[in-house]
């Protein structure tokens, strides 16, 4: 299994242990890492390499947010990356206890990619038609993304596991 980390994080896959498929033919990602997992799956299938499953944990989903929202996020990061990331990590765990995570260096470019990424329904359908099982995990108490919009989008091409009381880290009380 290949796992791609969330924005400004590393080694957080233990939070998703109960859901992770440990198979060598699985590609998984959390939050920002879902973009990388998706892109890697597309790349591997184009190269004729086998992938059985794509797991997306709390995938970034800002394609329906307006430009003002995205600009405010970038302004906040530019003003104080440290404060921005501190608040971001707090929101990942809200409304529950914030747990320790390993921080990873990040850039404004990564934040831009996260905010402006557009999921392609067509590419998702191609993966599905190629026999790749796509699983999307969403928390009903996620303070980072709009899970209703994400669920509506992804249910067209994936098995969506909606955990009513879970936050962005898929943590429940």
Q: What is the pLDDT of residue 135?
A: 98
**Is 168 contained in some domain?**
no
Tell me if residue 118 falls in helix, strand or coil.
coil
Cα separation values, 44 from 15, 21, 39, 96, 154, Å: 26, 18, 9, 37, 21
Share of the chain above pLDDT 70, in %: 100
Q: What is the pLDDT of residue 97?
A: 87
**Is 170 contained in some domain?**
no
**Is 110 contained in some domain?**
yes
**Is 146 contained in some domain?**
yes
**Is 171 contained in some domain?**
no
Total Cβ atoms within 10 A of residue 43: 11
Share of the chain above pLDDT 90, in %: 97
Q: What is the pTM of this model?
A: 0.96
What's the domain count of the chain? 1
Q: What is the pLDDT of residue 99?
A: 87
- Does pLDDT of 100 surpass 90? no
**Is 81 contained in some domain?**
yes
Give the range of the structural domain holding residue 78, as residue numbers without chain letter.
2-163
Q: What is the pLDDT of residue 138?
A: 98
Type and span of the H or E element at 34: helix 32-46
Alpha helix (H) ranges present in 117-146? 121-129
Let me know: does 102 contact 124? Beta carbons within 8 Å: no
- Does pLDDT of 137 surpass 90? yes
Q: What would the mean pLDDT of 132-154 be, rounded to a whole number?
A: 97
DSSP 5: P
**Is 56 contained in some domain?**
yes
**Is 172 contained in some domain?**
no
- Does pLDDT of 131 surpass 90? yes
Work out the mean pLDDT of the chain and round it to a whole number. 96
Q: What would the mean pLDDT of 40-57 be, rounded to a whole number?
A: 97
CATH number at residue 20: 3.40.50.1820
């Amino acid at each position: 299994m290949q796992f791609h980390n969330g924005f400004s994080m590393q080694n957080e896959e233990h939070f998703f242990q109960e859901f992770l498929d440990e198979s060598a033919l699985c590609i998984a990602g959390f939050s920002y890492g879902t973009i990388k997992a998706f892109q890697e799956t597309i790349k591997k299938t184009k190269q004729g390499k086998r992938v059985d499953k794509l797991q997306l944990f709390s995938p970034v989903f800002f394609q329906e947010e307006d430009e003002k929202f995205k600009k405010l996020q970038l302004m906040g990061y530019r003003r104080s990356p440290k404060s921005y990331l501190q608040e971001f990590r707090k929101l990942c765990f809200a409304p529950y206890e914030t747990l320790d995570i390993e921080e990873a260096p990040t850039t404004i470019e990564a934040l831009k990619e996260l905010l402006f990424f557009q999921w392609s329904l067509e590419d998702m359908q191609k993966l599905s038609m190629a026999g790749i099982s796509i699983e999307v995990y969403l928390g009903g108490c996620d303070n980072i993304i709009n899970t209703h919009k994400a669920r509506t989008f992804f249910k067209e091409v994936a098995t969506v596991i909606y955990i009513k009381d879970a936050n962005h880290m898929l943590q429940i009380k």
